[in-house]
């Protein structure tokens, strides 16, 4: 005879792939029975009808039940939560916090917020954000990304995300790929539509990304900032005053001079500048030599000007560009290549550099 209690315990430990809590904890495991021939029948209540990850949940429940000795087959069926059950679930998930409350990065939160910016476009800021996020996730960190480049969003495509957020009781559950949860305007804008917004609408959209999305409590929240020092940068500094800034530049002196302004703005709003990332530092030819296609010294010069460390130099490799186009970050597209290793070094360097102690947003102890 199959131990029904053991089967229930195994199935109850299966995590909902979006909320990352067990079925037992979420009260999604409604019925479980085992017949004399070892066939297990399970009824799971989905958070919403048509859950996009139902197939994964089916396979995970089946695998968990089959792991118990004596189980010969598993039949999984689904129902859906009622409106009241969904509402109660989201209150529980928010830990009793009111809806539309921004808790990320506040005092007492374990989440480190990294605002990744640049002075100008074209320096690979989004590639750095996407691959750094994957490198941190590879280290076992829980990672989230907000694609705050509202006009030039690109993070979902770089990570191969091809579905929209799930909506549960007016709360957005961000899609994930490679262990990284992502929220972006890309989910809400048609391919042939331009985003033509002024400051107030941008401010509102960013507030929704922070307050109306269930992020859980990630170890890291990376913000892919738009280039420059405009409305989005100002809004984010207000929403997330404890964020640490990372400035991306290329070795080219012209790019370095423009990138300096992004660093100066971080200082103006009292954000700690964690350091500089120099992207496209060199290209390695078939002869093994490094060719500085975009010049040399920009990263070091910017770090010296701002009085912060140069965190990493990222080489220019085809696998990095190809991976961005195909939705495969370079850590998976070319896991043993020099760019992948550079991102792993960058992630480790950031993880080891702890934030400054802040008693109050206006009072900083260095």
User: Is the same domain home to 76 and 116?
Assistant: no
CATH code of residue 41: 3.30.300.130
Least confident of 12-21, 250-259, 304-313, 326-335: 250-259
Of 29, 57, 46, residue with least CA distance to 81: 46
Q: Is the pLDDT of residue 365 over 70?
A: no
Last residue of a domain, one of 81, 104, 125: 81
- Residues 129, 225 contacting (CB under 8 angstroms): no
User: Is the same domain home to 354 and 238?
Assistant: yes
User: Is the same domain home to 117 and 69?
Assistant: no
In a domain, residue 339? The reply is: yes
- 106-to-11, 133, 354 alpha-carbon distances in Å: 35, 21, 16
Q: Is the pLDDT of residue 5 over 60?
A: yes
| Boundaries of domain holding 308 | 112-365
User: Is the same domain home to 61 and 130?
Assistant: no
Q: Is the pLDDT of residue 275 over 70?
A: yes
Give residue 360's pLDDT.
45
H helix runs in the chain, sequence order: 4-12, 54-66, 83-93, 125-138, 155-158, 199-211, 231-239, 253-268, 298-306, 318-326, 330-333, 338-352
User: Is the same domain home to 158 and 53?
Assistant: no
In a domain, residue 130? The reply is: yes
Q: Is the pLDDT of residue 362 over 50?
A: no
In a domain, residue 88? The reply is: no
- Residues 229, 200 contacting (CB under 8 angstroms): no
- Residues 37, 30 contacting (CB under 8 angstroms): no
User: Is the same domain home to 116 and 177?
Assistant: yes
Give residue 93's pLDDT.
80
In angstroms, how far is CA 191 from the centroid of its own chain?
A: 22
Give residue 1's pLDDT.
83
pLDDT category, 170, cuts 50, 70, 90?
confident
Going by their DSSP bridges, the two strands 357-360 and 283-284 should be labelled as: unpaired
User: Is the same domain home to 77 and 139?
Assistant: no
Give residue 199's pLDDT.
59
Count of the separate structural domains present in the chain? 2
Q: Is the pLDDT of residue 108 over 90?
A: no
User: Is the same domain home to 14 and 143?
Assistant: no
Contacts of 351 (CB under 8 A, 6+ apart): 136, 139, 141
In a domain, residue 255? The reply is: yes
Give residue 366's pLDDT.
36
**3-state DSSP assignment of residue 63:** helix
Q: pLDDT of 42-96, one tens digit each?
A: 999 999 988 888 999 999 999 999 999 999 999 999 999 999 999 888 888 876 6
User: Is the same domain home to 73 and 164?
Assistant: no
How many Cβ atoms sit within 10 Å of the Cβ of residue 95? 8
User: Is the same domain home to 13 and 147?
Assistant: no
User: Is the same domain home to 205 and 266?
Assistant: yes
Cα–Cα distance, 229 to 290 (Å, whole number): 33
Q: Is the pLDDT of residue 253 over 70?
A: yes
- Residues 16, 28 contacting (CB under 8 angstroms): yes
CATH code of residue 334: 3.40.50.300
In a domain, residue 90? The reply is: no
Cα–Cα distance, 322 to 331 (Å, whole number): 12
In a domain, residue 95? The reply is: no
Between 171 and 237, the higher pLDDT residue: 171
- Residues 283, 329 contacting (CB under 8 angstroms): no
Cα–Cα distance, 158 to 328 (Å, whole number): 7
In a domain, residue 281? The reply is: yes
Q: Is the pLDDT of residue 17 over 50?
A: yes
Q: Is the pLDDT of residue 263 over 80?
A: no
- 212-to-49, 97, 166, 253 alpha-carbon distances in Å: 20, 12, 12, 41
Give residue 99's pLDDT.
58
Last residue of a domain, one of 39, 59, 81: 81
User: Is the same domain home to 287 and 150?
Assistant: yes
In a domain, residue 198? The reply is: yes
Last residue of a domain, one of 60, 81, 102: 81
């Amino acid at each position: 005879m199959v131990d029904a209690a053991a089967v229930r315990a195994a199935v109850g430990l299966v995590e909902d792939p979006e909320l990352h809590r067990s079925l037992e904890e979420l009260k999604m495991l409604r019925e479980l029975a085992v017949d004399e021939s070892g066939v297990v029948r399970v009824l799971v209540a989905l958070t919403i009808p048509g859950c996009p990850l139902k197939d994964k949940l089916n396979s995970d429940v089946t695998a968990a039940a089959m792991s118990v000795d004596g189980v010969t087959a598993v039949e999984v069926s689904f129902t859906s939560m009622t409106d009241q059950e969904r509402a109660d679930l989201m209150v529980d998930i928010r830990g009793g916090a009111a809806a539309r409350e921004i808790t990320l990065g506040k005092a007492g939160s374990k989440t480190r917020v990294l605002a990744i910016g640049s002075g100008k476009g074209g320096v690979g800021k989004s590639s750095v954000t996407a691959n750094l996020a994957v490198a941190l996730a590879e280290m076992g960190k829980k990672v989230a990304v907000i694609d705050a480049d509202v006009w030039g969003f690109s993070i979902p495509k770089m990570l191969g995300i091809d579905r929209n957020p799930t909506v549960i009781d007016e709360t957005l559950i961000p899609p994930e790929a490679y262990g990284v949860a992502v929220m972006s305007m890309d989910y809400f804008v048609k391919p042939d539509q331009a985003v033509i917004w002024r400051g107030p609408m941008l401010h509102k959209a960013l507030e929704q990304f922070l307050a109306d999305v269930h992020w859980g409590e990630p170890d890291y929240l990376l913000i892919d900032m738009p280039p420059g020092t405009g409305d989005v940068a100002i809004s984010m500094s207000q929403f997330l005053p404890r964020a640490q800034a990372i400035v991306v530049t290329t070795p080219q002196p012209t790019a370095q001079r423009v990138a300096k302004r992004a660093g100066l703005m971080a200082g103006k709003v009292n954000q700690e500048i964690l350091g500089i990332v120099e992207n496209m530092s060199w290209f390695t030819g078939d002869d093994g030599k490094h060719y500085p296609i975009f010049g040399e010294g920009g990263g070091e010069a910017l770090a010296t000007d701002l009085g912060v460390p140069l965190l990493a130099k990222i080489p220019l490799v085809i696998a990095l560009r190809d991976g961005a186009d195909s939705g495969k970050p370079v850590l998976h597209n070319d896991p043993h290549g020099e760019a992948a290793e550079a991102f792993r070094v960058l992630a480790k360097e950031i993880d080891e550099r702890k934030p400054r102690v802040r008693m109050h947003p206006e009072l900083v102890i260095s």
